[in-house]
A and B are shown apart, each in its own frame.
Chain A
Amino acid sequence: MSRLFAQLGFGGFALGVWETVYMTAVSTAVAYLAGLPLGILLCVTDRDGLKPIPWLNKIVGFAVNIFRSIPFIILIVALIPAARAVVGTSIGNGAMIFMLSVAAAPYVARMVESSLKEVDKGVVEAARSMGAGTFTIIRKTLLPEAKPSLIVGAVISTVTVLGYSAMAGTIAGGGLGAIAVTQARPSGAEDVIWLCVALTVVIVQILQELGMYLAKRTDRRIQRRRRGKTQKTAEENPHQS
């Protein structure tokens, strides 16, 4: 066991896990605050969307692409002044959450957009035929119908943010990534590095399983398979009416 490992102890690793989870959760949540509306906008204003506004779609799409193409490590440097202005500091977990949110929001926007675009056009048409306006269709058709896919997207986004959060060490933030990169690597404490890796894997696995379980549970399209046998008989004998 390395000296660092002993030094950190259970409390040190627990704090690392907590900081990672905390940064990831808050950043993803903030990213959705911005990314969800952006994603809806991208979907709705698309050429064959509900309310096509090509110029707006182009501008927003372009901005999203630009942010998505900047590597996170460079974005961190670029966002230092902005972090100072918004969070009051350019170092620590608070600044990291700000940067993670900015980096993740465009990603989330694309995730949301693709989920909403999966919704059957016919269902949207049916809603229009009933006299639903754009907002009603978004709120009562697009979002609820895309829910399972949105949950899957949220899991993927969260895991991505978790990966980015490992770079928190570069701006004096905390978490498992910071422990591994800024403390363990220079002192050669490989056992600490490997434990950090293992803990990260466990967090991701839990997230993934939980997310997929939720997505499946809320998806009414696959209920039939879960109910199994009773459904089968209804399927075989559908015209009793």
Chain B
Amino acid sequence: MIELKHITKEFSAKGGAFLALDDVSLTVRDGEIFGIIGLSGAGKSTLVRCVNLLERPTRGQVFLDGEELTAMREKRLREVRRNIGMIFQNFNLLEQRTAEANVRFPLEIAGVKREAARRRAEELLSLVGLGDKAKSYPSQLSGGQKQRVAIARALATQPKVLLCDEATSALDPSTTFSILDLLQKINRDMGVTIVVITHEMRVVERICDRVAVLDRGRIAEEGTVAEVFSLPRSEIAKKLVLPDLTRAARRADGRVWRLVFNGQNSDMPLIFSLASEKGVAVNILYADTREIGGGTFGHMLVGLAREENEPILTAFCRERGVECREEIV
């Protein structure tokens, strides 16, 4: 379990201090995949670096399984870091070492015997699907392959936690998904807790159990992916999750309502029923359906031909378990 308590990080910059993180508290449970999403500059990378103290918070505490990292001496901290693997946007492989020697690198640091380290490295390379690339150098590998090597390397010391800093941001969509599948497999098969930092919705949608939305150094919203993505409450989460809905709402003339369908009620003809049973004409301004965490979520932005019909609309939705709220922009 990772606990971040009141993490604040200031960078001294010209013309005063810059507040990168402002009193951030988070708990990542064992065995889950936790996403931290935000726009660039929100403080995501700084936050994930505070977990293994590559970046030391100005104030606040970091705990791993109840042990306080922020209170540790340097030597002990280095040992603990072996329990926290990390992968990066730019892979950060040693260019002058083969794939196998890259995976062996953390084992060398940990003082594992060469032969044992070699065997472990080969094992890990086949786990990530690169058993035949042991002798290749990073310059001979594609982006996706490099990230696989980096994942193998991060897992070499059998960490409990894997931190992913924009790990798929430099990859094309299909490679992104294959890397995400691999991360999910690692999470399920090896029980590794994963923290994913990203600005991409699809990453969180695809693999995360819970998510925190970071905005200008603060947590704007936090919850299960289903909760946050089906009914984003904060401005920033709405912008991230439903950029088109927000835009459509802004364009609309009169009042508009947001309808949210969840996994149970997304396959019934609500709008049709409303017209045929109640005689209420609904104007659909925006609609989208997404698969999140196994369920189907639909969002619809509607206007009413006659706004005095609002009570009928809300009552009708309530009866059918569809969330309906006025969208005010």
Contacts and interface: CB of A to CB of B under 8 A. Distances in A.
Contacts of B84: 129
A147 B106 CA distance: 20
Nearest to B78: A131
A221 interface: yes
B79 A220 contact: no
A125 B144 contact: no
Given A223-B137, A238-B143, A241-B178, A123 B92 contact: yes
A235 B136 CA distance: 13
A220 B157 contact: no
Contacts of B175: 238-239
Interface residue tally on A, bucketed by range: 20 to 34
Interface string A112-136: 0000000010110111111111001
B78 A133 contact: yes
Main secondary structure of the interface of A (DSSP, over half): helix
Interface in A114-163: 120, 122-123, 125-133, 136, 140-141, 144-145, 147-148
B88 A223 contact: no
B252 interface: no
A227 to B, nearest CB: 8
A123 B92 CA distance: 5
Query: Which residue, B96, B142, B150, has most C-beta atoms of chain A within 10 A?
Result: B96
B109 A221 contact: no
Contacts of B90: 120, 122
A219 interface: yes
Contacts of B153: 130
Contact of A239 (B80, B106, B178): B178
A222 B139 contact: yes
Interface residues of B, number: 43
Given A125-B92, A147-B96, A220-B96, A235 B142 contact: yes
B88 A126 contact: yes
A233 to B, nearest CB: 11
A122 B88 contact: yes
A127 B86 CA distance: 10
A85 interface: no
B97 interface: yes
Interface in A157-196: none
B12 interface: no
Nearest to A237: B142
B295 interface: no
B5 to A, nearest CB: 22
Contact of B142 (A123, A136, A234): A234
A185 to B, nearest CB: 47
B108 A129 contact: no
B148 interface: yes
A222 B153 CA distance: 23
Interface string B20-51: 00000000000000000000000000000000
Interface in B55-96: 74, 78-82, 84-86, 88, 90, 92-96
A224 B136 CA distance: 10
B184 interface: no
A145 B95 contact: yes
Given A132-B109, A136-B109, A223-B139, A239 B96 contact: no
A97 to B, nearest CB: 33
A129 B148 contact: no
B148 A241 contact: yes
Contact of B130 (A126, A130, A224, A241): A241
Interface in B206-240: none
Given A131-B82, A223-B140, A241-B148, A144 B105 contact: no
Nearest to B88: A122
A234 B92 contact: no
A123 B94 contact: yes
Contacts of A148: 96
A65 interface: no
B145 interface: yes
A219 B144 contact: no
Contacts of B163: 129
Contacts of A145: 94-96
A126 B151 CA distance: 12
Contacts of A140: 105, 108-109
Nearest to A126: B92
15 contacts: A120-B90, A125-B92, A126-B93, A130-B81, A130-B109, A131-B78, A133-B74, A133-B78, A136-B109, A145-B95, A234-B140, A238-B143, A238-B175, A239-B142, A241-B129
The 7 residue pairs across chains A and B that have the minimum distance between CB atoms: A238-B142, A131-B81, A126-B92, A122-B92, A131-B78, A130-B106, A129-B86
Given A140-B108, A235-B142, A238-B142, 13 more contacts: A120-B95, A122-B90, A126-B92, A129-B54, A129-B163, A132-B109, A140-B105, A144-B96, A218-B96, A220-B138, A221-B96, A223-B139, A241-B130
